[in-house]
Structure 1
């Protein structure tokens, strides 16, 4: 099991599977001569999390009779395995932190069986470095209208970015600041503006440092959809048209999108300084609301 490299992403799953079935992809083979060795890292964290929630769940909560006195709190492993439609051995191994294969479908059934909340379910999938199959594809969903309207209520430069860092909405103050990007009829992609527009090098103070940082931030931000056609196409285009982007991208630098001081050489106002802050809307962390406050 590989460690998760991603931030928390809430899901929108509801419902419960009524018909158990066997996960043939995850069930140990009868020919296995020995269980896999114990793993000490992310798999162990996943097992600890699942076990803790199993022990909190009573038999009555899942429609099972209390039965005779139990030696351990909560459900038995065999009971959870039955609810999930997986083999008891496989379920035991995953609780023990062994590096077994846990498909997204099997994890979804565990989440339902353990009656995890939306936040708990999202955390489960983060621990397993898997994408929740019940989570809608952000690329297929329109940006919330309220979010797009919010930028007009901000008394400072503000804009909304999508997962490829295209500007979806911006206010007049942002258009006034970002000459060559958000004013007039320009390409609205922040990366293409930064790396291919000559005006960006004139506008952004210490362009080299900021551009390098931007490439590192996008690498971290795009890791979940790096193979999606729009993201891959953007990276390929920038790599072919910008030597600087190609160099920064090849460096494999990764960085969180940070706020802080931003300086610009504005063609009308001269040197202007802002403090930048980025917000991620609940349930749509593929979008970003960026606000720049004048110092």
Structure 2
């Protein structure tokens, strides 16, 4: 009698030693910390391992024990945002732990509002005015939401007077930017690579897509740099400017992300 091959949905995918493994390790550690009593289950017979059993967590989440086991084992199975939310509730994760869970899974928490739909915190915008150095706040499309007088004095043609407040449009479409920014081409290339990395989670959203398409049409340099597929983190560092009034100025750039509003950036330039 011939043995039938196992059903495709029951064939375990191969183990993965990267992000899926980190996700599984995190979930397993928190399962083992949770007692049956904490979730309203009887202690039952003597347990060989601490905490809840996998089958118990699967039952609490409303998922199959096999699927949950594969998640813990670090197998590259698909985990929807809804399933992750149920795991977070079942394991009684704190807000920070829940956020970490979704970061590990590269998913957006459905319980979190879209930060882009919320106004920038008023205290953050006020803080810019208290900084004794050029400082500004960028949104997820790199539009300046707030800036201080020192930043307006430095960024001629962008933050002074009535200009388009988008940093990318200024850099790639304003002729004055090529004169102001020392070593314009490598800096502009780096800027495009930084924006690609920064925008990956909302790359197909209408505001971001419109910005990229309009810049590609308006600037051959941006179109070329964007097509290169270069990716770079916004790490800061040395920034040099050829200012029309102050001459050559050198700064150390630092970028900060406010807690709970990682779509925003506070950029500060410290004179070197």
Q: TM-score scaled to structure 2, two decimals?
A: 0.94
Does structure 2 retain, via aligned residues, the 8 Å contact 1:278–1:291? yes
2:181 corresponding residue in structure 1: 204
Residue 39 of structure 1: CA displacement?
Answer: 2.7
1:116 Cα offset (Å): 1.1
1:119/1:289 Cα in 2 relative to 1: closer, same or farther (>3 Å)? same
Task: Provide the rounded CA distance (Å) in 1 between the counterparts of 2:69 and 2:251.
Answer: 54
The alpha-carbon deviation at position 18 of structure 1 amounts to 43
1:29 Cα offset (Å): 7.7
SS of corresponding position for 1:143: coil
Q: Which moved more, 1:104-113 or 1:43-52?
A: 43-52
Give the Cα–Cα distance (whole angstroms) in 2 for the partners of residues 56 and 287 of structure 1. 35
Q: Name the SS for the 2:253 alignment partner.
A: strand
Contact 1:17 1:112 in 2 (8 A): no
Whole-Å separation in 2 of the counterparts to 1:189 and 1:149: 20
After TM superposition, the score normalised by the length of structure 1 is 0.87
SS at match of 2:217: helix
Q: Distance in 2 between matches of 1:203 and 1:48?
A: 49
DSSP-derived class of the 2:252 partner? strand
SS for the counterpart of 1:209 is helix
What is the Cα deviation at residue 40 of structure 1? 3.0
- The alignment of Structure 1 onto Structure 2 pairs a total of residues equal to 268
* Partner-residue secondary structure (3-state), 1:278: strand
1:144 is displaced (CA, Å) by: 0.1
Residues 251-286 of structure 1 deviation map (CA, whole Å, 9 limit, x = unaligned): 111111011111111111111111111111000011
- Whether contact under 8 Å (1:17, 1:109) holds in the other structure is no
Contact 1:262 1:273 in 2 (8 A): yes
Q: Cα distance 1:178–1:49, how it changes in 2: closer, same or farther (>3 A)?
A: same
Superposition deviation, residue 19 in structure 1: 38
CA contact (8 A) 1:164 1:231 kept: yes
1:196-248 Cα deviation digits (max 9, x unpaired): 00000010000001100100000000001001100000000001110000111
Bigger Cα displacement from structure 2, 117-126 vs 285-294: 117-126
Q: Which runs of 5+ in 2 are unaligned?
A: none
Q: What is the match of residue 98 of structure 1?
A: 75
Greater RCO, 1 or 2 (C-alpha within 8 Å, sep 6+): 1
Q: 1:48, 1:69 → 2: CA distance?
A: 24
How far, CA to CA, are the matches of 1:142 and 1:117 in structure 2? 25
The equivalent residue for 2:134 is 157
Per-residue CA shift, 1:79-124, capped at 9, x if unaligned?
A: 1011111111211121122222211100010011111122221221
In 1, distance between residues paired with 2:117 and 2:58?
34
Mapped contact 1:239–1:246 kept (Cα < 8 A)? yes
More helix by share: 2
CA 1:138–1:111: 2 relative to 1, 3 Å: same
Report the CA distance shift for 1:187/1:258 in structure 2 as closer, same or farther (over 3 A): same
Instruction: Work out the CA distance in 1 between the residues paired with 2:214 and 2:2.
Output: 44
Q: Distance in 1 between matches of 2:138 and 2:2?
A: 36
Which segment drifts farther, 127-136 or 155-164? 127-136
> Following the alignment from structure 1 to structure 2, what is the Cα–Cα distance between the partners of residues 150 and 142?
15
